[in-house]
Structure 1
Amino acid sequence: MLTLGQLKEATCSKSTYASKFLPYIIETCDQFSISTPSRMLNFLAQVGHESGGLFYTEELASGSAYEGRKDLGNIEKGDGVRFKGRGLIQITGRTNYKAVSKALGTDFIANPIFLGGKNVIRCNTTQLKNAAESAGWFWDSRHLNALADEIDINKSIDTGNNLVIFKKITKTINGGYNGLPDRLNRYKTGLSYFI
Structure 2
Amino acid sequence: MTRTDYEAIANGAYGSRAELGNRGISSGDGWAYRGRGLKQLTGRNNYMEFQRWHRQNSVQWPDDDLDFVENPDLLTTMKYAVRSAASFWINNNLYKIADKGPHPEIVDKITKIVNSNTDSYLERRKHFSQIWRDIFYAD
Quote the sequence identity (%).
Answer: 35
Aligned residues: 117
- Check 1:88–1:182 CA distance in 2 against 1; reply closer, same or farther (3 A cut): farther
Is the helix fraction higher in 1 or 2? 2
The amino acid across from 2:46 in the alignment is N
Indicate the residue corresponding to 1:193 in structure 2: 135
Q: How far has the Cα of 1:110 moved from its partner? A: 1.3
Query: Contact 1:66–1:74 (CA<8 Å) still a contact in 2?
Result: yes
In the alignment, structure 2 segments of 5+ residues that lack a partner are 1-5, 56-65
Q: Distance in 2 between matches of 1:173 and 1:188?
A: 18
Q: CA contact under 8 A between 1:63 and 1:83: conserved in structure 2? A: no
- Aligned equivalent of 1:140, options 72, 86, 90: 90
> Which of residues 93, 108, 117 is equivalent to 2:68?
108
C-alpha RMSD of matched pairs (Å): 2.2
Q: Which residue type is aligned with residue 30 of structure 2?
A: G
Aligned partner letter, 1:98: M
The answer to whether 1:80 aligns with 2:30 is yes
TM-score (norm 2): 0.72
Q: Is the 8 A contact 1:87 1:134 kept in 2?
A: yes
Deviation of 1:177 (Å): 4.3
Structure 1's unaligned 5+ residue stretches are 1-59, 117-126, 154-161
**TM-score between both structures, scaled by the size of structure 1:** 0.53
- Look up the equivalent residue of 1:63 and give its one-letter code: A
How far is 1:179 from its partner?
2.1
Quick one: structure 1 residues 145 and 194, their matched pair in 2 at CA, closer, same or farther if it must change by over 3 Å?
farther
* Aligned partner letter, 1:102: R
Relative contact order, CA 8 A, sep 6+: which one is greater? 1
Give the superposition deviation at 1:184.
2.2
Structure 2 distance, partners of 1:180, 1:71, is 21
Deviations 1:59-101 (A, max 9, x none): x885211113222222261111111111111211111111101
Deviation at 1:102, TM superposition (A): 1.7
